Amino acid sequence: MLRVVLTWSCLTAVCLLCQDVADAQHVHTNRPRGKTLLPLPKARDVWHFAVFGDRTGGRPEGIEVLRQAVADTNLLDPDLVMTVGDLVQGYNTTESWLEQTREFKESMDKLRMPWFPVAGNHDIYWRGANRPEGEHETNYERHFGPLWYWFPHKDAAFVVLYTDEGDANTGKKDFTRRGYDDMTAEQLAWLRKTLEETKSYRHVFVFLHHPRWRKNYHGNWNEVHSELERPGNVKAVFAGHIHRARYSGSKDGIEYFVLATTGGAKSHEAPRAGWLHHFDVVTVRNDGIQVAAVPVGQVVDPRSLTDDALAEIDRLMGDKSVVRSTSRLAISADGGVESKLAVELKNPSQHPIELTVEFTAGMDGWMVQPDHMHARLAPGQKRTFEMACRRGGEPWSGPVPRLAYQVDVLTSTQRISLPERHRSISFDLTSVADSFWLPRNRALRLDGENSCVAVRSKVASPPQGAFTLEGWVRGNDFRGRRPFLAKSENSEYYIFVTDGVPTFGVHLGGKYIEAAAGKLILQTKRWYHIAGVFDGSEVRLYVDGRAVAVAEAPGKRKLNKLPLFIGADPNGNGNPVNHLNGWIDEVRLSTGARYRADFEPRSRSKPDAATLLLFHFDHDLGPFALDHSGSAAHSVRMGNAQSSTRPK
């Protein structure tokens, strides 16, 4: 019988050792109340590899997507990179095939880790005279590697299969034909031998081009799957070809993944639906794997986000010279357009940029050629192009056309995609001047939800000193905060009819000075003329030509760059809120104090030297409300705002 005798010192040492082990398994703190147990990370070996999708079948610019994927992958630093085939465009003869191979390998060789090829139909199929036996198989094996092979890494084996062997008897290749998608006896025998050789590995991963397990193939994949299932350590199979990411589930413990593309065709249309440029990152642990699809261009190098780099990006985003129209679209009196729009592109940054510019006007009868433009500009470079714009004279209810543009900044390490921006287009409406002299008894109808008219700030901000703001209003509902005419936001001026109480306010001397008709409550379904006058010393409010409120008004008016909204109130971002439900007519903004005593309001105003803005709302021209003043500040109707027959 063996007896173990432990001295006190030995017991103490054992206890201290146990305590050290216990301490090592928990977080360390000197906080007296920090006793909450926090779980530590898994103390297991973990490593990663990446898988690239198809490169081919799309535009030549797809090689840039591949290069970006290489840059992204270098930041993630996996152990190795696999592909799933279609490395070159192929379907050609040797000379062009070799040129495409050089381009692909030059891009991939910038990876900081080894990469491994898989042969796809684009890599193998020949087009042209003198087709050799096996088509491009000899070229492929000479310049890329074996058509099928395996290699070990850590506790895993990587098995590459070839899915374009073609007809076993004739050697003809056509993956669309029944009988051409069997794995040959030669390759199948090699696979059996390989799986026997690799059965001691914890993980086996398989890579091929065609997803032979899908129902549109008719070959012997069931037999292949049986071979993969037998050893019990094949964890996943990766394929490509169909240019759409798809997970086919797990069968007998083997997961089946199809990648979309890494530069190929179609894969940019709906990323969340599987059409995306991406690469997969596979995390390998002892107890299994995790697979994540990483969209190309989404991996950011934090070391690139320096103060200087970000300052330059900010300048580029705020620079209005990047895209601008340098001509005006002429609109005829019936709303028709037959004009050319000149667009200037400029790169004010220190990096090359890529620009995509698009004419956006909805589907409201516009024909534009070209409707979009792609350009790459070196630092400081300018470029101009023209868009031929045409539209018939039918009614125009769509939005105001704009130029939408998106900028990619090409730094030495990555592509930085900036948010889409918009630039307004200038219009020449001189042909409609005569229509102002033809009254039509119409007014602006507003629905109280999202309708109003937006007048740009530059023409809606009168010079410092006296000014007059006036118009007619007929409310369907005055309850709540209801702006009539407003350029407010802790600055400028407004007329509100909140809860039926007319109020004129001007921001003077650091605060709003208001003239409010507290005892006068406007009735619905009735027209009122409301005028606000600031004469330099006081603000006065007139309702139907009668002075109803006055307040002393010393100080200087605080200005802003927000629009004047007719029928709404601007928020801090210049967007309309708190819309009016009702009708508005004959809005006028003037310099000077037009009214110093009671007066008889006119149903229709005429422009004079003091008139800054004058909207009759008698005529719609597309989405514009026409300005009869010398400013010609034809403004945009928003939402459902429209000119309609004026109710009594």
All domains of the chain, ordered by start, with CATH?
A: 49-295 (3.60.21.10), 302-428 (2.60.40.10), 435-645 (2.60.120.200)
pLDDT the model gives residue 36: 62
Measured distance CA(281)–CA(278) in Å, rounded: 10
What single-letter DSSP state applies at residue 327?
S
Residues with Cβ < 8 Å from 447, sequence gap 6 or more? 579, 581, 639, 640, 641
pLDDT the model gives residue 534: 97
Tell me the C-alpha to C-alpha distance, in Å, between residue 479 and each of 378, 497, 502, 527, 582: 57, 9, 12, 17, 12
pLDDT the model gives residue 20: 44
Question: At residue 21, what are phi and psi to the nearest 5 degrees?
Answer: -65, -45
Q: 471 burial class (0-12, 13-18, 19+ CB within 10 angstroms)?
A: buried
Q: Which helix (H) or strand (E) holds 251?
A: strand 246-251
**Torsion (CA) 330, 332, 333, 335 in degrees, nearest 10:** -90
Tokens representing residue 417 in the block: 């995609």
Q: Which helix (H) or strand (E) holds 549?
A: strand 546-552
Give the burial string for 592-608 (b: 16+ CB within 10 Å, else e): ebbbeeeeebeeebebe
Residues with Cβ < 8 Å from 329, sequence gap 6 or more? 337, 339, 341, 389, 401, 425, 426, 427, 428
pLDDT the model gives residue 437: 61
Chunked into runs of 10 residues, the chain (648 residues) has average pLDDT values of 41 42 62 70 85 86 90 96 97 96 97 98 96 96 97 97 92 88 95 98 98 93 97 98 96 97 80 90 95 92 86 88 92 85 94 94 82 93 95 76 92 83 86 67 93 94 96 96 96 97 96 92 97 96 97 93 97 95 98 97 94 91 86 88 91
Identify whether the C-beta of residue 472 lies closer than 8 Å to the C-beta of residue 596: no
Q: Which helix (H) or strand (E) holds 247?
A: strand 246-251
Tell me the C-alpha to C-alpha distance, in Å, between residue 396 and each of 112, 336, 367, 393, 450: 57, 9, 14, 8, 19
